[in-house]
C-alpha cells in the first residue's frame, strides 16, 4: 500500500519524516533504521538532532541500529563527501547512537564481492530493516540502484549513471572528482524493509515521482518497484508532486 503526504515545502517534508522516524524509535527503541544520504534527508536529520537535544520527546537512540543504503567506492572516511562522513556530521554526532550500531558499506574495500557479502551479512545479522528512509534520483534511482535491464536484488557495486555523476558533482570540486562506482543495497534489501518512507522535494524530482506513483513497474525506473511494497509512505512537496494530480 502506498500512502502519499503532500506537503508545502522542504521544511514540512523534513518535519513529517522526522516525526515518523521519532515515532518508530519511541515505539520500538531497538529499531533497525535504514538511512539515506544526499540533500533530501539533511533537514530530517536536523529535526531529529534538535528534538533529541531538546529532549522533550524523549527519543533515545541507545539501542537503535542503523544500516545505510550506500557508499561511494574509494573515498576515505575522513573525506567530507563520503557517506560515512555525512552520517557522522549530519546525525550520529548529534545523538546518543553507539558507533558499533551504525553500519555503512565499506567504500575502501577494493574487493567488490567481499564488500557486498560482508554488508549482506550485517543486514542479515540485524534481522532486517524496520523503517527504510529513501530519497529518489531524478532518474528514478533508489539507493544507487540505477536504471537498468533488471532489478538487482542484493548488495552490489554499481557504475554510477552519467546523470547521477552530473547531479552529485554539485558537492565536488568538479565532475571528474565524483567517484565512478558505489556500493549499494539492492532492490531486494530495500523491498524487505517492513516500512518504507520516501522523500522528495523540488521540481527536479517531479518526473521520477510521477513514474513512481503511476508509471509501469520497470527496472528502467527502479523506484517504480515500490508500487509492490505493502507499506510505503511518500512525503513529497508541491513541486515534487507537480507532474501528478492528487
Ligand atoms: C543516497 C541515496 C540516493 C539519493 C538520491 C537523491 O543515500 O541513496 O538514492 O537519495 O540520489 O539525492 P538528493 O537527496 O541529493 O537529491
For residue 72, the model assigns a pLDDT of: 98
For residue 58, the model assigns a pLDDT of: 87
Could you give the CA distance from residue 224 to residue 237 in angstroms, rounded to a whole number? 19
148-175 per-residue burial string, b: 16 or more CB within 10 A, e: under 16: eeebbeebbbbebbeebbebbeeeeeee
Of the candidates 35, 149, 157, which has an alpha carbon nearest to the alpha carbon of residue 92?
35
Name the active-site residue from 141, 156, 207, 239. Answer: 141
182 touches 72 (CB < 8 A): yes
Query: How far does residue 56's CA lie from ligand 1's centre (Å)?
Result: 30
> Quick check: CB of 69 below 6 Å from ligand 1?
yes
Q: Residue 42: is its pLDDT beyond 90?
A: yes
> Quick check: CB of 141 below 6 Å from ligand 1?
yes
Using CB atoms within 10 Å of the CB of residue 15, give its burial: 0 to 12 exposed, 13 to 18 middle, 19+ buried. middle
Query: How far does residue 30's CA lie from ligand 1's centre (Å)?
Result: 26
Query: Three-class SS of residue 145?
Result: strand
Query: How far does residue 167's CA lie from ligand 1's centre (Å)?
Result: 10
Could you give the CA distance from residue 230 to residue 224 in angstroms, rounded to a whole number? 13
Active site residue 141: yes
Q: What is the mean pLDDT of residues 39-46?
A: 98
34 touches 133 (CB < 8 A): yes
Q: Residue 21: is its pLDDT beyond 90?
A: yes
Closest Cα to atom 9 of ligand 1: 143
Q: What is the pTM of this model?
A: 0.98
> Quick check: CB of 138 below 6 Å from ligand 1?
no
Indicate which atom in ligand 1 lies nearest the CA of residue 205: 16
User: Which residues lie below 8 Å from residue 183, measured CB to CB, with a gap of 6+?
Assistant: 70, 71, 73, 105, 106, 107, 112, 115, 116, 119, 144, 155, 156, 157, 158
The strand ranges marked E within 160-227 are: 181-184, 195-200
Task: Choose which residue among 73, 84, 135 to substitute to test ligand 1 binding: the one with the highest number of ligand atoms within 8 A of its C-beta.
Answer: 135
> Quick check: CB of 145 below 6 Å from ligand 1?
no
Query: How far does residue 33's CA lie from ligand 1's centre (Å)?
Result: 16
Query: How far does residue 135's CA lie from ligand 1's centre (Å)?
Result: 5
Q: How many CB atoms lie within 10 A of CB 120?
A: 17
pLDDT, tens digit (0-9, with 9 covering 90-100), for 119-158:
999 999 999 999 999 999 999 999 999 999 999 999 999 9
| Mean confidence (pLDDT) of the chain | 97
Q: Residue 215: is its pLDDT beyond 90?
A: no
DSSP-assigned beta bridge partners for residue 52: none
Name the active-site residue from 139, 145, 168, 189. Answer: 139
Query: Three-class SS of residue 181?
Result: strand
- Cell numbers standing for residue 9: 515545502
pLDDT, tens digit (0-9, with 9 covering 90-100), for 55-81:
878 899 999 999 999 999 999 999 999
Active site residue 139: yes
> Which residue stretches of 127-202 are H helix?
162-168, 187-191
For residue 246, the model assigns a pLDDT of: 80
Could you give the CA distance from residue 170 to residue 173 in angstroms, rounded to a whole number? 8
> Quick check: CB of 40 below 6 Å from ligand 1?
yes
Amino acid at each position: 500500500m502506498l500512502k502519499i503526504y503532500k506537503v508545502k515545502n522542504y521544511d514540512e517534508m523534513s518535519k513529517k519524516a522526522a516525526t515518523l522516524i521519532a515515532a518508530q524509535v519511541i515505539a520500538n527503541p531497538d529499531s533497525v533504521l535504514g538511512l539515506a544520504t544526499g540533500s533530501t534527508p539533511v533537514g530530517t536529520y536536523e529535526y531529529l538532532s534538535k528534538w533529541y537535544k531538546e529532549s522533550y520527546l524523549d527519543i533515545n537512540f541507545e539501542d537503535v541500529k542503523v544500516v545505510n543504503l550506500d557508499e561511494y567506492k574509494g573515498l576515505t572516511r575522513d573525506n567530507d563527501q563520503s557517506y560515512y562522513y555525512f552520517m557522522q556530521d549530519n546525525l550520529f554526532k548529534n545523538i546518543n547512537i553507539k558507533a558499533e550500531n551504525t553500519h555503512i558499506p565499506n567504500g575502501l574495500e577494493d574487493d567488490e564481492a567481499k564488500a557486498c557479502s560482508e554488508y549482506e551479512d550485517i543486514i542479515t545479522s540485524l534481522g532486517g530493516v524496520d523503517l527504510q528512509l529513501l530519497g529518489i534520483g531524478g532518474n528514478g534511482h533508489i539507493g544507487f540502484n540505477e536504471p537498468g535491464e533488471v532489478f538487482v536484488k542484493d548488495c552490489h557495486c554499481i557504475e554510477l549513471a552519467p546523470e547521477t555523476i552530473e547531479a552529485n558533482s554539485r558537492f565536488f570540486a568538479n565532475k571528474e572528482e565524483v567517484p565512478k562506482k558505489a556500493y549499494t543495497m539492492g532492490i531486494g534489501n530495500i523491498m524487505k524493509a517492513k516500512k518504507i518512507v520516501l522523500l522528495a522535494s523540488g521540481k527536479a524530482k517531479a518526473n521520477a515521482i510521477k513514474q513512481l506513483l503511476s508509471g509501469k513497474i520497470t527496472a528502467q525506473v527502479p523506484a517504480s518497484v515500490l508500487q509492490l511494497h505493502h507499506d510505503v509512505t511518500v512525503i513529497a512537496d508541491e513541486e515534487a508532486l507537480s507532474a501528478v494530480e492528487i
